[in-house]
Amino acid sequence: MTLNRRQFMRTASGALVYASAASVLRSAGLKGEEPIKVANVLDQTGGLNIYSLKQISGCAMGVEDLNKAGGLLGRPIELLFYDSQSNNQFNSQYATQAFVRGKAHVLQGGITSSSREVMRPIVRKFGGLFFYNSLYEGGVCDRRHVSTGMVPAQQLEALVPYVMGEHGGKRGYILAADYNYGHITAKWMQKIIRENGGEDLAVEFFPLDVTNFAPVISRIQAAKPDVVWSVLVGGAHMAFYRQYEATIGKKNLMLASTTYGVGREQTELSADEAEGILIGTSFVDDLPSPAAKSFVKKFQAWEGNSDYVGEYGEYGYRGIMLWAEAVRKAGSPEPDAVIAALDGVQYDGAGGLYTIDGKTNHTTMDIHVVRGNRTGSFDLIKSFGQRPPKDTQLVCDLDKNPDDTTQYEPEV
């Protein structure tokens, strides 16, 4: 998304403020009303912006659609955008500014789990509300935190048995990013592989700036697994997919991932590099449903291009729309009122029906197993309807323990 002067103006708080055009507000009857403020803290720049750029657009498009439809509770919505620059120091700084100077009613943002964990205590400190629109490792129990993305019980409990059962991927070799998302997701992967009668041969972790995977590719070749599992993250780690195809090749050894495609990596790789990678996802542009096709068409018109949208673009829109439904149900944008209204809030979106589970503030959704093809997109293999976030449900009960702020991890 291009953050230009026509759409945004910079404020003294450091935010870029997006407000719908006066003509839009007038036609919707919103001119002069006090705005409801949404803070969006995402990486417009930095090494993780491959995930954020489309999510920024999705969030802004959601705000515009709401304003065109009359806003919320008869008030316009104003978007305060902060570029966290893939730097957790800025996540901390801007989350604070969003509530102190920006007077935000909700913070929507964060890509990595580390960015989330930097901002979560700040949201609590100021009595705010945080919508985290990203797949993650699960287990966060916090009434001020709402997860709208996939967790392992949804993604991996669909993908792992499919890979093991349909493709004979019993013996796995796991590569993961070296921070909390990679570490905890790898534990879930080991747990689910073992529960399905498989074996995890090795788990290796890589800092986000690593681009040379030749040593681990040699170790994979020596170990002779049935499948390689990628839990890699970010622009630097995209080098793995190129190096893997140039050495081992997916025709010789299956490759499956929890993260491939969410940064639209498939649009940057060659046909050979992209073809055949298996993922579990809550949305890709290539879903055959009318809702998915309509969303992609609208998103591309909003941006003025024909780019692949991807899951994180849809996450940005999904988060805004689920929050809006909760505001309507609460009859107020104030965080505590919205939190009290979260249970059962639904939005029928591009990837299927999304429903917030008030016990955990996580989201039930459809999961789709897809395979990369030679055109830079994906082929749908199988969909799993309405998967609950049962990994987090096993450890979190905000009805009984509303003051819980723990992130729980699986035992392996």
Tell me, what's the pLDDT at 7?
55
Q: Which of 301, 281, 266 is nearest to 352 (CA)?
A: 281
CA distance 41 to 280: 26
Tell me, what's the pLDDT at 167?
79
Q: What is the distance, to the nearest Å, from the Cα of residue 390 to the centroid of all Cα atoms in its chain?
A: 18
3 confidence band (pLDDT: 50, 70, 90):
very low
Give the chain's domains with CATH numbers: 8-151+290-365+388-393 (3.40.50.2300), 152-281 (3.40.50.2300)
CA angle 258-209-313, nearest 5°?
Answer: 45
Residue 12 has pLDDT above 50, yes or no: no
Element (H, E) at 41: strand 36-42
Tell me, what's the pLDDT at 203?
97
Amino acid at 332: S
CA angle 142-147-153, nearest 5°?
Answer: 100
Q: What average pLDDT does the segment 14-27 reach?
A: 64
48 confidence band (pLDDT: 50, 70, 90):
confident
pLDDT tens digits for range 289-314 = 999 999 999 999 999 999 999 999 99
CA distance 244 to 251: 11
CA distance 391 to 409: 10
pLDDT tens digits for range 254-267 = 999 999 998 899 99
27 confidence band (pLDDT: 50, 70, 90):
low
State both tokens at 2. Answer: 């291009």
CA distance 198 to 195: 7
Tell me, what's the pLDDT at 23?
62
Tell me, what's the pLDDT at 5?
38
Q: What is the distance, to the nearest Å, from the Cα of residue 270 to the centroid of all Cα atoms in its chain?
A: 25
Residue 386 has pLDDT above 70, yes or no: yes
